[in-house]
Amino acid sequence: MNGPQGLSVEAVVKMKQAGKKITVLTAYDASMTKHLEAAGVEVILVGDSLGMVVQGHDSTLLVTVDDMIYHCRLVACARESALLVVDMPYHSYTTVDMARANAQRLVKEGGADMVKLEGAGAVLDAIRAIVAGGIPVCGHLGLLPQSIEELGGYRVQGREQAAADKMVADARALEEAGASMMVLECIPSALGKRISEAVTIPTIGIGAGPDCDGQVLVLYDLLGLTPGKRPRFSKDFLGEMPAGKGITEAVRAYVEAVKTGKFPAPEHGFK
């Protein structure tokens, strides 16, 4: 199942080369996708964050490939111009054969343009296999929600020099393995800048500072819908809208803030 073809991977890469900021938001259904399209978001991510904000779990670990296909299909039905990226969920790429097969399902049945995998190291072989099969890949470094138990919680990553150096090396390895883009999550702003300068593919930050090539937020955080304490790196754009303004206007404000460098501000980053 494939919907309309949106922005190409090559076009997003050229945005980095031209110094144009890339806007990314999560979506999990057709209605929200229409708001993102109307506001001019370039990349839509069907994130396994749906396990928390939609399904009500306390992590992303219970999300299945079938869950991701279902939600990706909903987004693909409404997507018109954005590049459509989908997360490969926990334990869906533990072997090369499994990674290849599940990536193919997410594209064929879900309608995705690109799949996203977390980490480097052993994941590099899976990335190579997926790319060799003709499917673009987005990497993910820093805080890895699927490895939250190993990381000991939701903590800023890469603060120590050795950890920072390894992350830069991992970023280069992701590019060499064939990744076309990468998300950098919850790392010091200076490290986000360092990695963005070390690779030629776009970096998309979430709590990684203003010098990444683009930014991503969980849509529910942007709309102030997430219960409890909001992550430091997020901002409630809908809550700042004048009376009578709605979701599309809030998303458009996010797009403008990213494009003009107003978001993320220093208070949304880490040292």
- Which pLDDT tens digit goes with each residue over 159-199? 999 999 999 999 999 999 999 999 999 999 999 999 999 99
The pTM of this model reads 0.96
pLDDT of residue 151: 62
pLDDT digits (tens, 9 = 90+) for 211-239: 999 999 999 999 999 888 888 999 999 99
Instruction: Return the CATH number at 152.
Output: 3.20.20.60
> Between 62 and 154, where is the model more confident?
62
Please list the helix, strand and coil fractions of the chain in percent, rounded to the nearest 5, in that order: 45, 15, 45
**Count of domains in the chain?**
1
Answer whether residue 116 is part of any domain. Answer: yes
Instruction: Provide the 8-state DSSP code for 230.
Output: P
Do 183 and 216 form a contact (C-beta atoms < 8 A)?
A: yes
Query: CA 34, 35, 37, 39: dihedral to nearest 10 degrees?
Result: 160
Sequence-ordered alpha helix ranges (H) in the chain: 9-17, 30-39, 50-53, 65-78, 96-108, 123-132, 148-151, 161-177, 189-198, 219-222, 247-260
* Residue 220 identity: Y
Is residue 240 part of the annotated active site? The answer reads no
Q: Residue 142 above 90 pLDDT?
A: yes
pLDDT of residue 230: 83
Range(s) of the domain holding residue 252 = 9-268
Answer whether residue 4 is part of any domain. Answer: no
Do 146 and 48 form a contact (C-beta atoms < 8 A)?
A: yes
Q: Residue 1 above 50 pLDDT?
A: no
Average pLDDT, stretch 59-65? 96
Q: Dig out the tokens for 23 from the structure.
A: 């806007």
Answer whether residue 3 is part of any domain. Answer: no
Cβ-based neighbours of 115, under 8 Å, separated by 6 or more: 85, 86, 87, 88, 103, 106, 107, 130, 135, 136, 137, 138
Q: Which position among 37, 149, 185, 249 bears the catalytic label?
A: 185
